[in-house]
């Protein structure tokens, strides 16, 4: 199975106050931490929602679903079977968590649905969903496609404010 890794990085970082993808954690950018956490499981990793990367679809400003739609479209266009997603503000994913995600698709982490494993075949259905005016909440999309919600027993670090870097 060909797996594309996608780091969702198109957010505005309003709560953070500056571009959190570029914030440093242990001397390394958050976006680099996120990329490194999924890279061992993927043939290729792309950055979604940033200049020079894969664009959000069908347009910028749609939040994580726009990033997911862009990643799925890129995956489908480049013959990837599935897409493993994380966000630039999730610097560390336990290896066991990723291995569990990869057992079924679509699957998302219940408390953090930007972390998930999706079949590339959902690219067009998600684009249609977004263009129809359906709710732009990740939860609503997960429910629509019957995504498995993975309950993970340990907290997963999510950086939303500068204090979260400590």
**Torsion on CA atoms 72, 76, 80, 82, rounded to nearest 10:** 40
pTM (two decimals): 0.94
State the residue range of the domain holding 30: 3-165
pLDDT tens, residue by residue, 99-137: 999 999 999 999 999 999 999 999 999 999 999 988 889
pLDDT tens, residue by residue, 8-37: 998 766 666 677 888 888 999 999 999 999
**Number of domains into which the chain is organized:** 1
Distance of CA 34 to the CA centre of its chain: 10
CATH (domain of 18): 3.90.550.10
Q: What percentage of the chain carries pLDDT values higher than 90?
A: 75
How many other C-beta atoms can be found within 10 angstroms of the C-beta atom of residue 49? 27
């Amino acid at each position: 199975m060909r797996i594309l890794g996608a780091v969702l990085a198109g957010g505005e970082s309003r709560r953070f106050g500056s571009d959190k993808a570029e914030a440093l954690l242990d001397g390394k950018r958050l976006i680099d931490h996120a990329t490194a956490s999924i890279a061992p499981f993927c043939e290729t990793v792309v950055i979604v929602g940033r200049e020079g990367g894969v664009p959000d679809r069908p347009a910028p400003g749609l939040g994580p679903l726009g990033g997911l739609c862009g990643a799925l479209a890129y995956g489908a266009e480049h013959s990837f079977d599935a897409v493993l997603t994380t966000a630039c503000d999730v610097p560390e994913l336990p290896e066991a968590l990723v291995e569990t995600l990869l057992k079924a698709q679509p699957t998302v982490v219940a408390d953090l649905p930007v972390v998930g494993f999706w079949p590339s075949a959902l690219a067009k259905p998600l684009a249609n969903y977004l263009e129809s005016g359906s709710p732009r909440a990740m939860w609503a999309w997960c429910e629509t496609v019957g995504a498995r919600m993975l309950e993970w027993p340990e907290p997963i670090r999510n950086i939303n404010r500068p204090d979260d870097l400590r």
